[in-house]
Structure 1
Amino acid sequence: MTPAAQHSPELRAAARHLGRRRFLTGTGAAAALAFATNLPTAGVAGAAEMDAARVSADPFTLGVASGDPQPNSVLLWTRLAPKPFEQGGGLPARRVTVQWELARDPRFRRVVRRGAVTAHPEFNHSVHVQADRLDADRTYYFRFRTGKYLSETGRTRTAPPASSSAALTLAAVSCQAYHDGYFTAYKHLAEDDVDVVFHLGDYLYEYAVNSAGGARKYTDRVLPDIFNRETQTLDDYRRRYALYKSDPDLRAAHAAHPFVVTWDDHEVENNYADGLDENGNPPEEFLLRRASAYRAYWENQPLRRPQRPTGSDMQLYRRLSWGRLAQFDILDTRQYRSDQAYGDKAHAPGPESRDPKRTITGATQERWLIEGWRRSRALWNVVPQQVTFSQRKLDLTAEAKVSMDAWDGYSASRDRVLAGAKSAGVDNLMVLTGDVHVGYAFDILDDFDKPSSKVVGTEIVATSIASGKDGAERPANWETYTKANPHLKFYNGRRGYVTVALGRAEARADFKTVSAVTTPGAPLTTAASFVTEAGNPGLRPV
């Protein structure tokens, strides 16, 4: 497909139109109406109302979550699903009223905000509450109620005021293939002392999950056959989120900390690029699938209204601040990228991958990022995103292969971004990355082809929560990668997450791993720790 066709407004319009007719299932004309108008507005409903007293089983089976903290507000989420694996979550296609409360204490003796919101069947009875007029830099507790049922209690917090220099500890997570193992790392993260969690993509996987839960090898339960196929339809994606969110460790992490989420490829399909899938299907067909996946993603994540999708389009890139300490520019490197070069195979850089017209962010997002840096007054400029940013040679030959799916396959994009950071005077650049199922720590170089060139930033790559199964402390290619990439300061193949403590003087990254995910309950270990000084980029172990 030509680049012009790839971005064709007619194709996207077709996806929106066909999506209204075909991918919304089970709610008929009401669903079509809701999709056409995106979200029901006040006083307008696409379905009749159901008396909440008629909800006959616990509807809060998928837990609660919060996200995108700002100084005066936070987003609260839940989804009603008394039978989460059934179509519609086991509820009829009717509106249900849900009450919510936000308090200063976990026993709700000091409630500061409360209200009621409608859970619409058109959005799979998901609830997105923007709690406003809150105090900055404060911990809150929240819960939901419908009929006689009360949800578990979630803990969240607001960001500090714009003038604050308060420190921050974040966690970065990615890649949680349910069929590859237990989410043990989330159990530890739920108990960790962090302010916010950044999820860097692959929240779910489209691949089939067998009745035993894959590598989990269940003996005490049997998963329905509906999961033993690749996700294609809206119902498929909705049910897959229900499977993932039924995991108690993931639920615990969401209840404990606010999340800031962005996607990678598997929330839709492996290695897709803009309107192209990996199998060469007609783009109009893939955009319908993408519309289904984006819709289900928004329904199941603690995202604000500006992120709600329109057909096959959804603006997920956005900016958050943590006082004067940090600015977070959350990227989307999937939706707007050029098709991968050289057939998406590992390949030595060449004319195709170096083409200056190629982009991994799209021109609009690239401008938004660089202009945001020019206006930034933050000490740390942090970029949570999906795929490896630093050069990563995969062998020791003179013409070493690199990944065409990562920034190495879009070197002109990387060059423009680094030039933009330099022109904007960004002194403390930090990139947070997921995708590769290992932990990396990179020095970002001004010129990766010159190992002695200036260090201009830090890249922290979070390993997977479960993807890749147990992994190994030193993968088989450890020696090759560390020799081929002298700017690579750490490489570990276990599962887990990374925490980053941002302060006025330095940032500290702690890589935390578990020994196994194919069996539950593994302990948490800090595999390595590094610091980088403010104003003096470059990682050193501690």
Structure 2
Amino acid sequence: MLDLSRIPTALRSEGGLSRRLFLAYGAALAALPSLATRTHAADKKVTFSADPFALGVASGDPNADSVVLWTKLAPEPLAPDGGMKPDAVSVTWEVAEDEAMKKVVASGAVVAAPQLGHSVHVEAKGLKPDRWYWFRFTAGDARSPVGRTRTLPASDAAPDKLKFAFASCQHYEQGLYTAYEQMAKDDLDLVFHLGDYIYEYPNRETAKVVRKHTGPKDGKIKTLGDYRERHALYRSDRLLSGMHARCPWFVTWDDHEFDNNYANDIQERQPKGKAKADPADFLVQRAAAYQAYYEFMPLRPRALPKGPDMQLYRKASFGRLAEFFVLDTRQYRTPQPNEDGLKPLNEAALDPKNTLLGKAQRGWLDAGLLASGATWNVLAQQVMMALVEITTAKTAGYSMDQWPGAAHERMALMKFIADRKVPNPVVLTGDIHSNWVNDLRVDDRRHDAPVVATEFVGTSISSGGNGPKEVAGLDKLQAANPCVKFHNRDRGYVRCTVTPTAWTSDYVAVEDVTKSGGRVTTRASFVVEAGTPGAKKA
């Protein structure tokens, strides 16, 4: 039965839900099978036309005694249905204490169902805390590569160090994933991906394209098959899939996993003369995008979408050293005020009704921050939180797609953190294809107010190509916005080393993402001392 309580307010009218919207939304909710279908009898003697593990293996969402193991059967990754027959397939899995897979400590079997694109999401339980493990899958006579993963320290443990990286924005057409080649050498505990894992744009025939998208050439991808093919194309990159096999990832989306600059069930602002998508059609498309995202990510089964709804926000504890809150600033947000773009912080932008988190997620976050006993409290999220006024040749203002578009909520969150004395808050951000280090105040326009938190914004892996290395007018930008401590437009990622006394963020840059073997350097490093908010250059 369709649960009317799950229907977004935007789809209801004064007289109730229209029949057309009801049917469209009901179809979206019915798009996924229940997990029970995955326990049906499956073919154990299956044969494949090619390696069914061509997309590799991954792990994610670890805690102290379990981790998610992922793979997807796809002997022909870019073919419809991955080259698989519409049959359920039995897949066995093993976890071992050694890379040679001799000391197996956990194993089992799971069904790869065609309804979920033959993806596999195993919750390997009963593992020891703070341990490295190795894992692999077997289907028929085919065996996967061996992946490396780990559990997190126990909740009452006091780790000496955590080393992780965060990344975002990896447009396949605009550059190579050289950053992941270096990241794989960094010997990291974890990776956080903050969104724009894929881009929904059509195949572009331009001189700037480094490698081409597959899929429709006449418009953005829209169907479940389209989204599956796009994810498969991105995951076929050996550097990306190789990094997935090195350590567990925490993932969250931004906009391009579905549709650029969307806000909940509202499409981005359209050019004059072009109508926005019908809300019902848009939600059906969102259901397809969310399902494909789940199928390709190492997420726990509880994240399985229900039509166009998928709870992605969650938290993880690295012992008492760090508490991570992984946020979703797309699914529950209100439309961008002032019709998006760079606009002043006017009455529309400061409207208390504007939100990026939604009421339920904000309540969950507040409760989690209050309950946290960690030294560092980390928000892993999508769009820049600093209230930075940008001046261009044509206009000046604040980005309405970022937190300034919900400035009241953003300032209330900083005030909550300050008033409740949440220890050592740090914000991790992606989205804007550039590096920033920002000191966060309740209101960043009050330059003399106390610093509450530190924001590290990471650039893109490849989006925007090489881009300009430096920023014109940087001195004026920083003079107008003293909260900005660092800014450039390199490509790369941010590597973080966390101890009980200090947090160090290294800004790792790839010199050229249009050619393989681009030189990698550390462009800058910033340190936050525990107990003293604000970043200083190392």
Q: Is the 8 A contact 2:194 2:430 kept in 1?
A: yes
Alignment of 1:50-69 (within 5 A): 50-69=43-62
Determine if the alignment matches structure 1 residue 306 to structure 2 residue 302: yes
Alignment of 1:268-279 (within 5 A): 268-278=258-268, 279=270
Distance 1:522 1:173, change over 3 A: same
Cα distance in 2 for residues equivalent to 1:37 and 1:147: 24
Cα distance in 2 for residues equivalent to 1:277 and 1:189: 35
Q: Is the 8 A contact 2:508 2:523 kept in 1?
A: yes
Cα distance in 2 for residues equivalent to 1:98 and 1:238: 20
Distance 1:336 1:213, change over 3 A: farther
Q: Secondary structure at the match of 1:408?
A: helix
Determine if the alignment matches structure 1 residue 173 to structure 2 residue 167: yes
Q: Secondary structure at the match of 2:446?
A: coil
Residue 243 (structure 2) aligns with = 253
- 1:453, distance to aligned residue in structure 2 (A): 1.1
Distance 1:425 1:7, change over 3 A: farther
Residue 5 (structure 1) aligns with = 10
Residues 11-36 of structure 1: CA distance to partner in whole angstroms, max 9, x if unpaired? Answer: 8854442336xxxxxxxxxxx6xx45
Cα distance in 2 for residues equivalent to 1:513 and 1:321: 29
Residues 511-535 of structure 1: CA distance to partner in whole angstroms, max 9, x if unpaired? Answer: 0000111111112100000101100
Cα distance in 2 for residues equivalent to 1:83 and 1:383: 38
Residue 199 (structure 1) aligns with = 193
Greater mean alpha carbon deviation, residues 447-456 or residues 529-538: 447-456
Residue identity matched to 2:142:
Y
Distance 1:97 1:195, change over 3 A: same
- 1:149, distance to aligned residue in structure 2 (A): 1.3
Distance 1:538 1:224, change over 3 A: closer
Indicate the RMSD between aligned Cα atoms, in angstroms. 2.1
Cα distance in 1 for residues equivalent to 2:192 and 2:214: 31
Residue 137 (structure 1) aligns with = 130
Residue 176 (structure 2) aligns with = 182
Determine if the alignment matches structure 1 residue 117 to structure 2 residue 110: yes
Which of 65, 70, 89 matches 1:77?
Answer: 70
- 1:248, distance to aligned residue in structure 2 (A): 0.6
Residue 329 (structure 1) aligns with = 325
Residue identity matched to 1:507:
W
Gap regions ≥5 residues in structure 2:
1-7, 271-275
Distance 1:225 1:241, change over 3 A: closer
- 1:421, distance to aligned residue in structure 2 (A): 1.3
Distance 1:315 1:460, change over 3 A: same
Residue identity matched to 1:76:
L
Cα distance in 1 for residues equivalent to 2:207 and 2:367: 45
Distance 1:465 1:52, change over 3 A: farther
Residue 127 (structure 1) aligns with = 120
Q: Is the 8 A contact 1:324 1:377 kept in 2?
A: yes
Residue 4 (structure 2) aligns with = none
Cα distance in 2 for residues equivalent to 1:454 and 1:7: 44
Residue 350 (structure 1) aligns with = 346
Cα distance in 1 for residues equivalent to 2:308 and 2:342: 29
Q: Secondary structure at the match of 2:487?
A: strand
Q: Is the 8 A contact 1:6 1:274 kept in 2?
A: no
Cα distance in 2 for residues equivalent to 1:400 and 1:536: 32
Cα distance in 2 for residues equivalent to 1:385 and 1:313: 18
Greater mean alpha carbon deviation, residues 144-153 or residues 243-252: 144-153
Cα distance in 2 for residues equivalent to 1:15 and 1:417: 36
Q: Is the 8 A contact 1:441 1:458 kept in 2?
A: yes
- 1:217, distance to aligned residue in structure 2 (A): 4.7
Cα distance in 1 for residues equivalent to 2:198 and 2:53: 20
Residue identity matched to 2:340:
D
Distance 1:238 1:424, change over 3 A: same
Distance 1:326 1:285, change over 3 A: same
Residue identity matched to 2:329:
T
Residue 457 (structure 1) aligns with = 453
Cα distance in 2 for residues equivalent to 1:137 and 1:228: 49
Alignment of 1:356-505 (within 5 A): 356-395=352-391, 400-505=396-501
Residue identity matched to 1:261:
V
Q: Is the 8 A contact 1:211 1:225 kept in 2?
A: no
- 1:199, distance to aligned residue in structure 2 (A): 0.3
Cα distance in 2 for residues equivalent to 1:42 and 1:471: 46
- 1:259, distance to aligned residue in structure 2 (A): 0.5
Distance 1:191 1:402, change over 3 A: same
Residue 139 (structure 2) aligns with = 146
- 1:536, distance to aligned residue in structure 2 (A): 0.7
Cα distance in 1 for residues equivalent to 2:259 and 2:12: 19
Residue 85 (structure 2) aligns with = 92
Q: Secondary structure at the match of 2:390?
A: coil
Determine if the alignment matches structure 1 residue 339 to structure 2 residue 335: yes
Q: Is the 8 A contact 2:417 2:452 kept in 1?
A: no
Q: Secondary structure at the match of 1:386?
A: coil
Q: Secondary structure at the match of 1:458?
A: strand
Residue 512 (structure 1) aligns with = 508
Q: Secondary structure at the match of 1:106?
A: coil
Cα distance in 2 for residues equivalent to 1:487 and 1:310: 41
Distance 1:7 1:354, change over 3 A: farther
Which of 240, 245, 257 matches 1:267?
Answer: 257
Q: Is the 8 A contact 2:32 2:116 kept in 1?
A: no
Greater mean alpha carbon deviation, residues 443-452 or residues 321-330: 443-452
Going by fraction, where is helix more abundant, 1 or 2?
Answer: 1
Q: Is the 8 A contact 1:396 1:483 kept in 2?
A: no
Q: Is the 8 A contact 1:395 1:480 kept in 2?
A: no
Gap regions ≥5 residues in structure 1:
21-31
Residue 5 (structure 2) aligns with = none
Residue 293 (structure 2) aligns with = 297
- 1:258, distance to aligned residue in structure 2 (A): 0.7
Cα distance in 2 for residues equivalent to 1:7 and 1:406: 28
Cα distance in 2 for residues equivalent to 1:479 and 1:298: 43
Cα distance in 1 for residues equivalent to 2:307 and 2:534: 43
Q: Secondary structure at the match of 1:54?
A: coil
Q: Secondary structure at the match of 2:179?
A: helix
